[in-house]
A and B are shown apart, each in its own frame.
Chain A
Amino acid sequence: MVSKNLALLTLNAALATGGDYAELYVEDTREERMSLDTGKMEYSTHRNTYGAGIRILKGLQSVYGYTSDLSKNGLLSLASSLSLAFEGERLIEVKEVKKRRTPKICPSVNPVIDVPSEEKANCLKAMDKTAREDERIIRTTCTFLSEERKIEIFNAESSVASFFTNEEHHARVIVSATAKDDKNMETSSENYGIHGGWSFFLKECDPIQLAKKAAKTAIALLTAKECPSGKFPVVIGNGWGGVLFHEASGHGLEAAATAKGQSVFSNCIGKQIASPLVTAYDNGVIPNAWGSNNLDSEGIPTKKNLLIKNGICTGYLVDRFNGRRLNMAPNGCSRREGYWYEPTSRMSNTYIAPGKDDPEDIIRDTKLGLYVVNFGGGSVDTATGEFNFAANEAYIIRDGKVEELVKGCILIGTGKEVLMNIDRVGNDLNLGCGFCGASSGSVPVTVGQPTIRVKEITVGGRGGKLQ
């Protein structure tokens, strides 16, 4: 996309006024999105994202710009105008651009973007047919996303610039089923995504099971009661339950939040921030996982980062810029949705490690509480640590038994309090796929955990007191 020579000129233009680091991030992304609406392919569309972002760092200051004009004139004029943000003498003259090796964490044989559209359409049709087997399902939407991102990263902090290339291939299916009876209409969704090729997708993904699950839950919700409200014990199921850790703690452990001392987890390394039962990782190197990558957005190989060990905070997710303020080395977690975002520290595949408890024992030992199985998502204020997440599928636990399904639940609390209140950790770790939105855009992430129990969480709902 951009020649080494043009990259060298661009980096030098960027560094002309005393910047101590310059980076050119170039992207050419092809995306195909198709969606089937209740038996009929409603639309199929292609999108080409094409452009470059230039970043200059000088000490604790950062300058960023982007353009969709990749011509010599386009890149040099952007680099020059950005450099004017600083006043100073040149510190670095780039003389050479050296190609660096890219690890293969996510090999993509037979890229999904190149698979004939008809094959992906057939996958959606099979899902649609399965989801509509019960006549109470009045609508389905089945969507297939395939994407190929070709990335070039050139960066310089000395006279020898580094050059990285990366290819990312993502595939994701989403099924949403809407059920209706005389009184109610309810919807449930399931999804699965990978960072890999078509054969890996076919091996790992069971679209029919996703469709069955979405339809079954939507139908069950028709007769669900409203969720009670108050403070009580909550057992959180494995897989997507990990959104609790993602919201309650993960964001607060990103250097973007901790670097300025404004996160509830700032200055916490070596301190106990969770129950001793909790060990947690952000692991960007799970082969072909939805949140994995070969490199991060700064050209640093992704890693398995231990965040919490037996309740003690052991590390943060550190990007290059915020790492300067923290005096910590970047650890491969700088991410961005596209070239129009400046990269920053973000989660990849984040999970609580498995414990020793049998999940059935955790339920059996709970007298009265809530068992949350599936979530819609959530958000957090990293300064106060206050988070929320909505539960799409939750059941009342009475005398150690899972009883009726309830709907309309929201769980709120503060990250520190909830982490300390985890009193059981199961042995059934599982992961779930989603997107995380933050300052550098929407990026693919997986969340995960085994079944856990929190002694007490504030639950919101319209069902009155838990009985």
Chain B
Amino acid sequence: MNIKRFFEEAKKDGLEECQIIINKSSSFSYTLYHEKLDNYSVSQSEKMTASGIYHGKYVAASTEKCNNNGLTYLIQTMLDASAVVEKESEIGLFPGSKKYHKRNVYSAEILETTPTFKINLGKRVESLLKQEEGVNDIAEISYSEEDNHSEFYNSYGLHLKDKANDWALVAFVLGKDGERTIDAGDIYFGNSFSSFHPEEFAHKIGEELRKKIGATSYQSGKYPVIIDREVFATFVSSYIRTTSAELVQKHLSPLANHLGEKIASSRLTIEERPLDKTIFHQYFDDEGVATQNKAIIKNGVLTTYLHNRETAKKDGTESTGNAVLAGGKLSVKAGYLKVKAGHTSLDELAKKANKGVYITSIAGYGTGLNPYNGDFSCQAQGFAIEEGKISRPLTLITLSGNLLQLMKDILMLDSRAKLNINAVECPDVLIKKLSIGGE
């Protein structure tokens, strides 16, 4: 495959500027069932995504035929698309940032560790889970690892490379609460095996299962609510999506016209930190712009919208390095987010709530959220808070509220911050009031 020829052919066919991103991925995964390999999977794949400017219009295409025929397909389909695209590109492609802050987060350990070790790791977890009281069956033990290499080229001669890898282990167990089946599980992810402690991982899942025994519904009403850090990460992700300058400029974000204003509790600070040394490290975006660490919400004040180069030009500012090219469209996306933790404990949060609900898992939030005004309703599980203490388990309740109001109503954050697999690190939070639906 000749990338140089791609740029020459593209130019000859009238693509004034163009770029190409080549992704090479490999993966390995397995699942266990009753300590035997149930499924074992490996893969190797490549993908090329090209974009360019033709007669002033931005066009894009992708293919998995990573050869010279694939390059021809990319050029031809970009030209075809220009026949119907009406939106003019106001910015063209990007010559390059002055400086890039690349960190090596690639783990040689994953490559060097044998499949046998990785399979035995899952077997060890399964064996530990079976010893946990209350566990009737193992619903899932699955291991997966991914290795991604990407290269970015554009017609300005910009050439950037990045690589990353990680592994994850998922475990779910089943138990009985009378006639009712209950389940519990967790996911561990990272790029080092030495920091994984199977005993601790399995015991935590066992504990979670046992705590669910005797769960009931709850009296409908409005209560102080503690949101567990795993659940709060979901709220943070969707909240930060509304800081997309693209949505703001299309009048689709409830945070439009609020830049520089206090929009949340002064206890809330959310930073985007793509340059930190985590498995989510990313030093350039899909336009080739260098990424940067920055506060998006600082002490409750909205300090920036997230920009690609097009939205930045409209607002007369610089790109924040948040461009993403997906489905043929250049858009805006946040990377690794970090919520500033507090200094107190979960018990203190419960004490402050006195009577309320501690939500530990939600389902259906994606479909139950109105992204334009932040109203949401979803299924939830958790615990009652009685006399300032986390007490009996709850199931089949609903949690409803407004995302913007929820962020304003944060009363306390504890110090139990955790990074979750969706690239959000955050602690547990106590919210003044949310609607609980149940009995």
Binding site for B on A (CB under 8 A): 33-35, 37-38, 40-51, 60-69, 74, 78, 81-82, 85, 117-118, 121, 138-139, 178, 180, 184-187, 226-227, 229-231, 260-262, 264, 340, 342, 375-379, 381, 383-390, 407-410, 412-414, 458-462, 465
Contact = CB atoms under 8 A, between A and B. Distances in A.
A41 B437 contact: no
A384 B181 contact: yes
Nearest to B364: A388
Given A61-B40, A69-B46, A458-B396, 12 more contacts: A33-B328, A34-B81, A46-B80, A48-B70, A50-B63, A60-B33, A62-B38, A63-B39, A68-B65, A139-B250, A262-B139, A410-B364
A42 B87 contact: yes
B396 A414 contact: yes
A49 B87 contact: no
7 contacts: A43-B81, A67-B43, A68-B46, A376-B367, A378-B364, A388-B363, A410-B437
Nearest to B371: A187
A316 B272 CA distance: 46
B371 to A, nearest CB: 8
Contact of A43 (B180, B328, B437): B328
B60 interface: yes
Contact of B368 (A82, A390, A465): A390
B44 A78 contact: yes
Contacts of A377: 366-367
A385 to B, nearest CB: 7
Given A186-B370, A229-B400, A388-B364, A460 B377 contact: yes
Interface of B: 33, 36-47, 58-66, 70, 73, 77-78, 80-81, 83-87, 137, 139, 172, 174, 180-183, 217, 220, 250-252, 254, 327-329, 363-364, 366-368, 370, 372-373, 375-379, 395-402, 435-439
Nearest to A266: B181
A180 B39 CA distance: 50
B238 to A, nearest CB: 14
B181 A460 contact: no
A337 to B, nearest CB: 14
Nearest to B376: A408
B85 A262 contact: no
A187 B253 CA distance: 13
B375 A408 contact: yes
Contacts of B401: 462
Contact of B377 (A47, A260, A409): A409
Contacts, number: 248
A385 B181 contact: yes
B400 A185 contact: no
A41 B85 contact: yes
A37 B86 CA distance: 10
Given A407-B375, A458-B438, A47 B61 contact: yes
Top-9 shortest CB links A-B? A45-B328, A460-B398, A229-B437, A388-B364, A46-B77, A460-B437, A388-B379, A410-B377, A376-B367
B377 A51 contact: no
A412 B370 contact: no
Given A45-B327, A48-B64, A139-B251, A378 B367 contact: yes
Contacts of A60: 33, 36, 38
A193 B43 CA distance: 32
Contacts of A186: 370, 372-373
Contacts of B252: 139, 178, 185
Contact of B174 (A43, A383, A458, A461): A383
A381 B183 contact: yes
A334 to B, nearest CB: 15
Contacts of B70: 48
A219 B38 CA distance: 51
A412 B81 contact: no
Given A340-B45, A384-B180, A412 B379 contact: yes
Contacts of A34: 81, 84
B65 A50 contact: yes
Contact of B87 (A43, A65, A74): A43
Contacts of A383: 139, 172, 174, 181, 183
Nearest to B361: A381
Contacts of B368: 376, 388, 390, 408, 410
**Residue among A49, A67, A460 with most chain B CB within 10 A:** A460
A44 B44 contact: no
A288 to B, nearest CB: 26
Contacts of B220: 229-230, 465
**Residue among A44, A81, A384 with most chain B CB within 10 A:** A44
**Residue among B41, B436, B439 with most chain A CB within 10 A:** B41
